[in-house]
Amino acid sequence: MLPEEDATDEQLLAALRGVRMNGGTYEVSDSSMTTTVIMHHNPNAMAEGASNTSTFAVDGDVMTRTFTNEVRQLVVKYERRAEGPPTAVEGVWNSVEVSFTSTDTSYTNEITRPSVLIFTKGHYAASRIAGEPRE
């Protein structure tokens, strides 16, 4: 817990250490989604033109995004928290499960930390809490 007033730099850093945030723009084409980072909690992830491409599918209130490269695959499942018409992607989502597969490991975990992924017209914002929960 932070003091009500005058938290030290060390206390503020410790409080924010587990927060992960990023945002930017996105484009959808058929079942492909490309996100381009504008801001990120890690300055190294904000390189000029930094982007990720994934496939995605929306089935009712569940969206599945699959990120694949030469050596690994990451699958993230989200549940819709709030409608955001007019597209299947727009809205507010919580990540609920992540699966990771590479040549030497594979696992699936339910995500129990708070998270939110918001898609609006052409822009997205994502935040989640990583690490162990705090009081």
Domain membership of residue 120 (yes or no) is yes
Q: Cα(34)–Cα(16) distance, rounded to whole angstroms? A: 28
Cα 35 to the chain's mean position, in Å?
A: 11
pTM for this one?
0.79
Q: Residue 33 is encoded by which pair of tokens?
A: 């989604």
Domain membership of residue 12 (yes or no) is no
pLDDT single digits (tens) 44-95: 888 887 898 999 999 988 999 999 988 899 999 999 987 666 578 898 999 8
The total domain count for the chain is 1
Q: Residue 66 is encoded by which pair of tokens?
A: 């699959």
- Give the β-pairing of 106-110 and 123-129: unpaired
Domain membership of residue 31 (yes or no) is yes
Q: Cα(35)–Cα(40) distance, rounded to whole angstroms? A: 12
Query: By residue range, what is the domain housing residue 67?
Result: 18-129
Domain membership of residue 73 (yes or no) is yes
Domain membership of residue 112 (yes or no) is yes
Min mean pLDDT across 5-14, 38-47, 82-91, 123-132 is at: 82-91
